[in-house]
Amino acid sequence: MREYLLTLCVTVAVTYLLTGPVRKFAIAAGAMPEIRARDVHREPTPRLGGIAMFGGLCAGLLVADHLRNLNGVFELSNEPRALLSGAALIWLVGVLDDKFELDALIKLGAQMISAGVMVMQGLTILWIPVPGIGTVPLTQWQGNLLTVALVVITINAVNFVDGLDGLAAGMVCIAAAALFLYAYRIWFGYGIESAAPATLFAAILMGMCLGFLPHNMHPARIFMGDSGSMLIGLVLAASAISLTGQVDPDALALFAGGERNATHAMLPAYIPLILPLTVIAIPMADLVLAIVRRTWKGQSPFAADRGHLHHRLLELGHSHSRAVMIMYFWSGLIAFGTVAYSVHSATMWIVLAIVALSAVGLILLLLPRFTPRAPRWAEGLVPPRYRHAARAAEAAAEAAAQNASGAEPEPARPIAAGVSGVNGATAVGPRSRFPDRRKAESTR
């Protein structure tokens, strides 16, 4: 575990330290697109954050290759090299898209080629364990096609959900954490060495997301762009494929007391093949709904719009930060609930806890205007927006901006609540962060 933690920390540090220089490079290179109708942010923000994330991926693999226990992953398996090859290709296409806005079909072709590169180097699905039946071996063509399909679907699911500050990175980090816990249990709990690459990939993916999140939380200083969203989507897909398609259920049967019991014991790894990814069930649902919605309207499935789940949360009145936290909550509930159920599937407490937390999530959805207030003794432990003094200062700054512009003061409203804009668009976040813009808007 210590070597995995060291790899995680190195990946976090490299990604975090590279993001600042990458932001300056993106500004100098002109990778700052104009505000589009579907965008939520209100200021041009540089992209190309995937450059820093790719640097973290390379650093994590390099450090792991020189550690005593993790070095065996590189000696006994070709999967790390397969991952790096596919990741480099999809990252390069993403960088070009962040700068030049490539066509959607070009990106789709690049995703399929990247998946094919990994398949050619051995990162593919060999069998499908079906609960109640056992292991169903796949032919080479069946395994290759299923692998490519899963990689492409996962990449686009992550890309579609990348619509709010910190949303995609946080949700993928949650998914990677759940996948790491399960893969680590298979690797060290059952001694199945073929689960080691998936464990390493999940740890590095967590580091990439955690290192980038401080720069990407609302209000974001930089976006990951397609160079980042497609990259972390590919790494997440590779982790799930390595765990599910490479781990032999017959080996697990020796510990689980039979092949059928082994199949049920690995249920969280099989469900990703069916859904295809339980750990990102929310982005997958968003992807399916987006395709159905756009096709029903006669649009291209790749045509961007403002109908995603996170956009709907903003329309309900949730603030930017609250919408992101709600998406985090549901992603974590599904991912960690599945892993917890795999460990203690015989008890009903896990199911009852999931049901109770689901009820809490529904209540949060119905209270978009509720702003939690921390007690004064705990103000030092919470973000500034939840402190009494900060809220009073924000209200005073907003009132001063209105008085300076000569506009009529607006009725008081919660600071963190969303503000409806033109055509149903929603401006979110503390409005006093931008007093000059507030003044300009009031004089139009």
Assigned domain for 326 exists: no
Q: Could you tell me which residues are beta bridge partners of residue 424?
A: none
Does residue 286 share a domain with residue 403? Answer: no
Assigned domain for 158 exists: yes
Assigned domain for 203 exists: yes
Assigned domain for 364 exists: no
Tokens encoding 201: 């990939």
CB contact set of 375 (below 8 Å; sequence gap of 6+): none
Last residue of a domain, one of 267, 290, 313: 290
What does each of the 444 residues of the chain score in pLDDT, given as a tens digit?
Answer: 889 999 999 999 999 999 999 999 999 988 876 665 555 556 778 889 999 999 999 999 999 999 988 888 898 889 999 999 999 999 999 999 998 888 888 999 999 999 999 999 989 888 776 656 667 788 889 889 989 998 998 898 888 777 778 888 998 898 889 889 888 888 777 777 878 898 999 999 999 999 999 998 878 889 998 999 999 999 999 988 888 766 665 555 555 555 555 555 555 445 444 434 555 566 666 667 777 766 777 766 655 655 556 556 666 666 667 778 877 887 888 778 777 776 665 567 777 887 888 788 777 666 665 555 666 766 666 556 555 555 556 556 666 666 665 544 444 444 433 333 333 333 344 434 444 444 444 444
Q: How many domains does the chain have?
A: 2
Last residue of a domain, one of 260, 290, 320: 290
Give dist(CA 382, CA 166) in Å, integer.
18
Does residue 247 share a domain with residue 100? Answer: yes
Phi, psi of 134 (to 5 degrees): 120, -155
- pLDDT the model gives residue 160: 78
Contact 175, 333 (CB under 8 A): no
Alpha-helical segments (H) within 128-224 = 140-161, 167-184, 196-216
Q: Which three-class secondary structure state does DSSP give residue 425?
A: coil
Does residue 274 share a domain with residue 407? Answer: no
Assigned domain for 29 exists: yes
Assigned domain for 296 exists: no
Assigned domain for 379 exists: no
Does residue 182 share a domain with residue 46? Answer: yes
DSSP state of 188: I
Does residue 263 share a domain with residue 115? Answer: yes
| Residue-wise pLDDT tens digits, 317-369 | 666 677 788 778 878 887 787 777 766 655 677 778 878 887 887 776 666 65
CB contact set of 75 (below 8 Å; sequence gap of 6+): none
- pLDDT the model gives residue 334: 79
Does residue 91 share a domain with residue 230? Answer: yes
Does residue 400 share a domain with residue 280? Answer: no
Helix and strand counts by DSSP (H, E) for the chain: 18, 4
Does residue 99 share a domain with residue 243? Answer: yes
Contact 49, 215 (CB under 8 A): yes
Contact 97, 234 (CB under 8 A): no
Assigned domain for 103 exists: yes
Contact 304, 160 (CB under 8 A): no
- pLDDT the model gives residue 233: 92
- pLDDT the model gives residue 431: 39
What domain range includes position 157? 2-290
Does residue 418 share a domain with residue 276? Answer: no
Does residue 117 share a domain with residue 7? Answer: yes
Does residue 209 share a domain with residue 75? Answer: yes
CB contact set of 108 (below 8 Å; sequence gap of 6+): 152, 302
- pTM as predicted: 0.73
Does residue 161 share a domain with residue 17? Answer: yes
CB contact set of 3 (below 8 Å; sequence gap of 6+): 64, 67, 68, 69, 70
